[in-house]
Every structure is written in structure tokens, then in C-alpha cells.
Copies of this chain bind each other. A is one copy, B any other.
Amino acid sequence: MSTPTAHLVLALSCPDRPGIVHAVSGALAEHGGNITESQQFGDPSTGLFFMRVQVETRAPLAEVRAALEEIAGTFAMTFTLDEVGRPVRTLIMASKDPHCLSDLLFRHRFQRLPIEPVGVVANHPDLAPIAAFYDVPFHHVPVTKETKDQAEAELLRLVRDLDVELVVLARYMQILSDRVCQELAGNVINIHHSFLPSFKGARPYAQAHGRGVKLIGATAHYVTADLDEGPIIEQDVERVTHSDDVAEMVARGQDVERRVLARAVRWHAEHRVLLDGRRTVVFP
């Protein structure tokens, strides 16, 4: 009786030195693995090596993981091993703007974005119908100066109770506290509605209009305690002209925001994004 073939994805980073690829591919070959797609990169500026491999194998995931853990010890490696396409348990946070939330849920439902949306948290009730349409539980958690601590406690409770792996700030207009940023470090993706580092902070489109730029942009990045300074995952831009006022920039910018955020979420969920200091390595 033959074991069914599994399709695994391995993403790793470690200090760069000779022999890493050979050791890893050896461990995979020993378990009958056939590499279908792989990318490697050594960053001379940080001395780190990055690798992502998709491999077909009949060996159980746990067995492959055990083999890799040995290597990880030798090479001071951190790695994740997962099944290709396994949906990542995701909590989406939003406020009133529907475009990013609606787009993520649409892609999950109809285009197989590999996430499992386990809940929507919003500090306003407006977006409840969208969550309902896509059958995702909606949690209205208002935030005021007084209730911020309590709201964040509720957020962390949901993250725990729902086994959340990824939090997506889909135009969530509240700043997370340092404590939350640290507790969820590397697992929170935000979309900022400007081409960072231009126009940090509030009302970036108004800033962009005032400056007379000819392209507006959006930036998906990991959230850190430094506002709008976390490692950038993806960016894109759209052309604007003198005749586009702030409202028009906002409307056109929303297209860029949702597409940049969707790419970042997908790449993260597919283990294509690796941290390299304050930068990211993306194997798209």
C-alpha cells in the first residue's frame, strides 16, 4: 500500500556558510523528496542565508521535520515546515473602510487565497454585513482612550482562543500598543496608504496631494513598535495627475491598497516572506 504524496514547503534562514543547500537537499532526498520549486539567497550585507523549497514526498511531515531539526541545530537555522496550500488561520482587523476587508474575503472565497479567516475585529460596526456575507464571525470591539487596554486584551484573547497565526490590519485605524506589537511580532501585517517612507502618519493622500506627487502608492509591512517603520513586504503605485483631488486619490489609492495587501498576505501565507533585519526577503 503506497503512502499518498504530500507537497511540503520549507522556509529557512541561518548564518551563511558552505554546505547548507547540500545538507537540506540531502535530508529531503533521503525522504524521497522531489524538489519542484526552490529559491536561495545569501545576503552579503547581513551574512544571512535564506532558502525556500517546495518538495513532493511520501514521508510524513513529522519525519521530515525531525530530519530538518538535526540540520537546524548544526547550522543555527530557524525554519518553518508546512503543507503547501494549508490555510493560515487569520484574524482581520478593520475600521470603516470596506475595500481591504471585502477584497481579502472575496479572494479567500473565490480565488483560493490560502488563509482561513477565523474572525473580523472592528472598532466600528459598519462592516458587519460584509463579514456576515462571507460567513466570518464579526467582533465589534470599540476603542477609546479609556478602553484601549481592554480592547487589546480582547484582541489577544481572540488570538489565543482562535489559534490565530496571522493578524491582518485591513485599514484598521488604531495604533497597536508596543506590548501587542511585541507579543505578535512577525505575525501582523499592515497596509499603509502611501509609498513608504513617504507620507508616514495620518492623511497620507492629503500629504501627497499637497506635495504634488505624480504617483501614489501603498505599502504592506510587518507591524513593529515603530509606527510605519516595520519591514516592507510589498509596494505598488498608481499614476495620478494634477486633476485628481484628494478624494479621487483616496478612491484610486484603494485599488493599490487592496492589491498590495492581498499579495503580501498571500506571500506570507505561502511562507514566501523571510525577515532579514529590518528588510524582507520575498521569494514570489
The minimal Cβ–Cβ distance linking A257 to chain B, given in whole angstroms, is 12
**Residue of B whose beta carbon sits closest to that of A40:** B38
Given the known interface contacts A18-B32, A37-B40, the answer about A232 and B245 at a Cβ–Cβ threshold of 8 Å is: no
- Tell me the number of copies of this protein: 4
The minimal Cβ–Cβ distance linking A96 to chain B, given in whole angstroms, is 10
**Residue of B whose beta carbon sits closest to that of A44:** B245
Residue pair A22, B16 in contact (C-beta under 8 Å): no
Interface bracket on A:
35 or more
Residue pair A102, B106 in contact (C-beta under 8 Å): yes
Residue pair A211, B235 in contact (C-beta under 8 Å): no
Interface 9-residue window, one of A61-69, A117-125, A191-199: A191-199
Interface 9-residue window, one of A149-157, A160-168, A174-182, A276-284: A276-284
Whole-angstrom CA separation of A176 from B195 in the bound complex: 29
**Residue of B whose beta carbon sits closest to that of A194:** B198
Given the known interface contacts A17-B34, A37-B42, the answer about A111 and B254 at a Cβ–Cβ threshold of 8 Å is: yes
Interface pairs A-B: 6 shortest CB-CB: A212-B279, A22-B25, A38-B40, A22-B29, A18-B34, A21-B25
